Amino acid sequence: MFFSSWATTDIRKHLPFIYNLSSISIYSYLPAFKAFGANAKVVHFLGRIKPWSYTYNPETKSVQSEPQDPTMVHPEFLSLWWDIFTTSVFPLLQQFGLATDPHSHLTVEDVSGAMSHLALGETPAPAQPSVSSEERKERWEQGQADYMGADSFDNIKRKLDTYLQ
């Protein structure tokens, strides 16, 4: 297996905990979650129930679930997801006429229906000042990777492809 030694080799190549948070990691790494959970940058909502599967009330800023729902592990992450959606994404959907009433309860049908009409296009990234390879590495290790620029998926894939050919 090509990546069979990933867990035991160079720890500097592992993603920081705050970029790899899931409900499983909350249980498995509780001390790390207690120390770093508030700084989470990426939260994976594993399983079939996703944030948009819940009903959200924008007036009370609360997520509603079934009374005995065992899957609602950390409601603060669900609330944060919905807060980001209602403040940053939903206004764009309204602007393009893909969603209407922000004060009604939002459901999975509202979200998925509106999102299915979005077309994403590439926008040119603004020119970034040149950064040395060592400085880029330090930023990456500190959790400040330039995911939209030099450290984007396409650039990393291109670099890996040159080594694998």
143 or 96, which is more confident? 143
pLDDT of amino acid 91: 83
Look at 41-55, 76-90, 120-134 and tell me which has the smallest mean pLDDT: 120-134
Average pLDDT rounded to a whole number, residues 126-133: 70
Residues 13-68: tens digit of each pLDDT: 776 666 667 766 566 677 777 787 788 777 777 777 788 778 888 788 888 876 55
pLDDT of amino acid 153: 85
Distance between CA atoms of residues 149 and 26, nearest Å? 30
pLDDT of amino acid 116: 64
123 within 8 A of 132, measured Cβ to Cβ: no
Average pLDDT rounded to a whole number, residues 125-132: 67
pLDDT of amino acid 55: 81
